[in-house]
Structure 1
Amino acid sequence: MSLLTAVLLLWGFTLPPATAEFDSNSEAILWADPQSLLEPWANLTLTCKASFPTKDFQLIMNGWRVHHVHLDDFVTSHQFPLGAITSNNTGLYRCRIGLEPLTNQPTEERWTELSNLVEVTGTEPLPRPSLSAYPVPWIVVPYLGTYVRCHSALRGVTLQLRMEGHELRKETKAQDKEQAWFIVYKAGNYSCSYRTHAEGNFSEPSATLTIKSYNTPPPPILYYFGNYPKIKFKSRYETLTCRAPLDVLEFQLRRGEKVLNVSSFSPIQEAAIFFLNLTELEDPGPFTCRYLLHRELELELEIWSEDSKPIELMWSDGTLPAPVLTVEPSSKNIEPGSTVHLRCTAPKAGLRFGLQREGNRENSLIQMLKPAGSEAVFVLHNVSTIDSGNYSCAYMEQAAPFSGSPPSETLELHVNGPPPRPKLEALWTGKVPVGRDANFRCHGHVPQIDMELVREGDRLPTLIGYARRSTSADLKLAFVGPQHTGNYTCRYMAAPPLEFESGISDPVEVIVEDQHS
């Protein structure tokens, strides 16, 4: 993982998902170099390209390591000659590169993640390429297009892009590369294929890629920098992040139609971080953000996105009397599945109320209400032990100077029984071909938890994921081989003070299909 990637993840940013066949963010890239494009399978070499100098390379076939090379000097690529392709060396290949130092580290931490997948068949038709959109699978009509990338494992081939239902066909030669870029201006369904020479047949087409069209770019996502809302002191800042699906020219933070002039910076061109001085805000919102995709000076045209979903803030200077928090039924013995009412009572009406729960660092704002009277009733439906914890409430005025109360006395909820079990979903059907990925999705019930994929019979988890802002996490079992066959379950857990561990999900069976059996 690169330093930039680690920093962005620490900040709460996530990188866009890669295509199943080709990951441009990988620290290792694999391609096939035929000695002759007239006979690509007669003498083939696989080249593993590293994103940084290394001494160690591994070539993996059908989920099994087949070559491990340790060199005397640091290099950025290594070639693995396969020679003539026969039934002995056909299959699905990936590579990875070693991290220095290789000693005193757990085995899996000594290597990068696996490269893209290269299929070697030795027969016609040629293996299908992959087609992906960059940066997004949509266009803004009629002004801007988008790029699509056709990726073939073989270098130097001629690639062709086709649009379903139209005669549109674009061709380009990849020269010394294994991919080609096309720009698309029309919405529709696209696929690509390739051939090794002018008289040769085209490969199987890629999977279909749908390009949509919008008159207005879709909205960005506006979220709290810490990934969850909190009741702040009025003298502090609140930090909001606006995230667009692609690189943009400009971001705006708005309250209604008014653009707010607040401090901000962009760590990447896809996002802006806004710093809101709570003492200078006219009111707590709601706030939205949008992005400027393109500015056409000659036409005096600006292409702004739709507004994000709104966010409202809550702060307090602690100058007003504290509210009183009560619970129905009693908080000492709550049965799982019950509905709990938390009643926050203030000395007057027309207030904004917030319910908060102690978290692993600060109290997180669970709900916010603006009732007409002097009481706010927060409802927790179908509670379980994951709702156990220490709760308090506070309120703030809805008009300047926006004074607020300190938190109420803490009220502890204790719900009996174990946490509800998660559900493990297989994102494939049937058997998993050897060398492909088995992608799971573990569905939990709360965000900000760790999720583990566990194979039956193993003591340690096979994979660990994290559900940041959602209640589910994707877990990828990469490049499966026969050794990955078995039943898998998932579970989730939270760190103190909300410490709990769920039971295991129902199992999902992974059956690996050996294409050569």
Structure 2
Amino acid sequence: MSMLVAFLLLWGLSRGPVTEAATFFETQPLLWAESKSPLEPSAEVTLTCQARLETVNFQLFKNGVAQEPVHLDAPAIKHQFLLTGDTQGRYRCRSGLSRGWTRLSELLELTGPTSPPPPALRLDRESTQVLRPGSKATFTCVAPLSGVEFQLRRGEKELLVPRSSTSPDRIFFHLNEVALGDGGHYTCRYQLRDNQNGWSADSEPAELILSDERLPAPVFTAEPASPNPEPGTRVRLRCLAPLEGARFALVREDRGGRRVHRFQSPAGTEAHFELRNISVADSANYSCVYVDLEPPFSGSAPSARLELRVDGPPPRPQLRATWSGAVLAGRDAVLRCEGTIPDVTFELLREGETKAVETVYTREASANLALIFVGPQHAGNYRCRYRSWWPNTFESELSDPVELLVTES
């Protein structure tokens, strides 16, 4: 049975663009907790460190301090660390390589007894698009406990669909052939295997839009109608449907694919989407669809596409700290760099330095940039920027600085 934990997980962010770097074998180990009494503080806890390859060396870190390395008599794929006494703290582990060690696992924080927090649910990259019948979609549900039972639900109904797992704290639900009626809002939840505390709260919903073309295409217009508007101006997009009270989706089509850009549920027959202070980030092809809000949630054919091309420099990003006050030594300091252009590489730089201390490629327009296991040596001011090498080469200006303070207690 699993120990209640709070953890930090960076969703879907790789450390370099596929087109800009070679493919490397993932060596980062997995770390999870198990306990006989998950709701009792200072209970006997087992931390499992699972390597990617068999090794004889494992090491646990607590609150930023390395514990004594463990050397096994024979190679193994995982090792269990038994914790007793005061088990609350922030943990990571690493496993041995032929020469040295792997990078540290994701952060695992053991806390005292609390109510189980809700899980997190997301759709895979392909499923963020407007789907057509017959398409595949995969939902990932991640819980802050390991070894639990999961449910995927639409409304109040559990969906019995194929599932798979790569680690004890997450599960993948597979919709192998999306059909009429599969559109709508999905949530997931979890419970301990002995049903000791019942189900957790539901995750935030993930929405699936199905364009089955059973409804006629909407009329899509732009004001001004020019395909080359001036930077800094406003473009108003109007989607008109022959159906009242529908759910509208503005769809953006660029090199990252065809994805839902915004949603709107007006009371009438039309939705208005505004792109304000437009820049090169808004350059794309746009269309819209709508879906019926009543079962089986029929969807329309897509509207005609409108092309929008804006010239000028990329907008400056904004850097935000995900903490308040000082960061406790041993934790991660995660800074979020928010831009407006998807499919770029984000870089975090320390004030006065030209080499990035962290780099993340993502198809989103923002990214989490993490300083791992911070100590006093990490204190200082940080800025971020983003860049692209394809199809156009550009680099944004640096953001305003964010100060990082580190405390021992």
- TM-score, normalization: structure 2? 0.64
Amino acid at match of 2:154: R
Alignment of 1:51-450 (within 5 A): 112-113=102-103, 133-134=109-110, 137=111, 211=112, 213-214=114-115, 217-226=116-125, 229-276=128-175, 279-296=178-195, 303-318=198-213, 320-329=215-224, 330-336=226-232, 338-398=233-293, 399-400=295-296, 402-414=298-310, 416-423=312-319, 425=321, 439=333, 441-446=335-340, 449-450=344-345
Write out per-residue CA displacement over residues 268-302 of structure 1, whole angstroms, 9 at most, x where no aligned residue.
Answer: 22222122255545352222211122435xxxx66
Paired with 2:142 and 2:379, the residues of 1 have a C-alpha distance of: 39
Q: Alignment partner of 2:272: what SS?
A: strand
C-alpha contact (below 8 Å) 1:353/1:393 kept by paired residues: yes
Q: Is the 8 A contact 2:123 2:140 kept in 1?
A: yes
> C-alpha displacement at 1:481, in angstroms?
9.5
Q: Which amino acid aligns with 2:358?
A: L
1:463 matched to 2:358: yes
Q: What amino acid is the match of 1:368?
A: F
Q: Deviations along 1:450-487, whole A, 9 cap, x unmatched?
A: 321235665543321356778341332777898x8987
Of 464-473 and 263-272, the range deviating more from structure 2: 464-473
387, 390, 400: which one pairs with 1:493? 387
Tell me the alpha carbon deviations over residues 365-412 of structure 1, each in whole angstroms, 9 at most, x when there is no partner. Answer: 111233343322123345443233222222344454825203422321
* 2: CA distance, partners of 1:456 / 1:53: 46
Q: Distance in 1 between matches of 2:117 and 2:95?
A: 38
**Percent sequence identity over aligned pairs:** 36
Q: Which residue of the partner structure matches residue 82 of structure 2? A: none
Which amino acid counterpart does residue 396 of structure 2 have in structure 1? Answer: S
The question of whether the paired residues in 1 share the 8 Å contact of 2:181 and 2:298 is answered with no
1:475 maps onto 2:376 in alignment: no
Residues 32 and 49 in structure 2, CA contact (< 8 A), matched pair in contact too: no
The match for 1:29 is 59
Which SS does the other structure have where 1:254 is aligned? strand
Instruction: Measure how far apart 1:258 and its partner are.
Output: 1.5
5+ residue gaps, structure 2, are 1-8, 15-27, 34-46, 52-56, 62-66, 76-92
The 10-residue stretch of structure 1 (438-447 or 374-383) with the greater mean CA deviation from structure 2? 438-447
Please report how far the alpha carbon of residue 306 of structure 1 lies from its aligned counterpart in structure 2 after TM superposition: 1.0
Q: Which amino acid aligns with 1:504?
A: L
Structure ID, larger Rg: 1
2: CA distance, partners of 1:288 / 1:511: 37
2:206 partner letter? I
Aligned equivalents of 2:352 and 2:186: distance in 1?
Answer: 50
The alpha carbon displacement at 1:224 in A equals: 0.6
The C-alpha deviation readout for 1:36-86, integer Å capped at 9, x for no partner, is xxxxxxxxxx965579999xxxxxxxxxxxxxxxxxxxxxxxxxxxxxxxx
Quote how far apart the aligned CAs of 1:223 are. 1.0
Paired letter, 2:317? R
| Equivalent position SS for 2:198 | strand
In 1, Cα distance between the equivalents of 2:197 and 2:321?
43
1:16/1:425 Cα in 2 relative to 1: closer, same or farther (>3 Å)?
farther
Equivalence for 1:67: none
- Cα 1:445/1:431, change in 2 over 3 Å: closer
Separation in 1 of the partners of 2:121 and 2:328?
38
User: What amino acid maps onto 1:419 in structure 2?
Assistant: P
Greater relative contact order structure (CA < 8 Å, 6+ sep): 2
Structural mapping, 1:504-515, within 5 Å: 504-507=398-401
Secondary structure of residue in 2 paired with 1:233 = coil
Q: Residues 370 and 14 from structure 1, CA distance in 2 versus in 1: closer, same or farther, beyond 3 angstroms?
A: farther
Contact persistence 1:424–1:490 (CA under 8 A): no
- Give the whole-Å Cα distance in 2 for the aligned partners of 1:225 and 1:51: 38
What is the distance in 2 between the residues matched to 1:342 and 1:237?
30
Q: Distance in 2 between matches of 1:464 and 1:477?
A: 13
- Could you say what secondary structure the match of 1:386 adopts? helix
* Paired position in structure 2 for 1:43: none
State the one-letter code of the partner of 1:249: V
Q: What is the DSSP-based 3-state SS (H/G/I as helix, E as strand, rest coil) of the residue aligned with 2:262?
A: strand
State the Cα distance separating 1:231 from its structure 2 match: 0.4
Q: Tell me, in whole angstroms, the C-alpha distance in 2 between the residues paired with 1:237 and 1:419.
A: 35
Code of the residue aligned with 1:113 in structure 2: it is R
Equivalent residue of 2:103, what SS? coil
Q: Secondary structure of 1:358's match? A: strand
Q: Which runs of 5+ in 1 are unaligned?
A: 32-45, 55-94, 103-109, 116-131, 138-210, 513-517
Q: Check 1:438–1:264 CA distance in 2 against 1; reply closer, same or farther (3 A cut).
A: closer
Rate the CA distance shift 1:503–1:9 in 2: closer, same or farther, 3 A: closer
Distance 1:357 1:51 in 2: 53
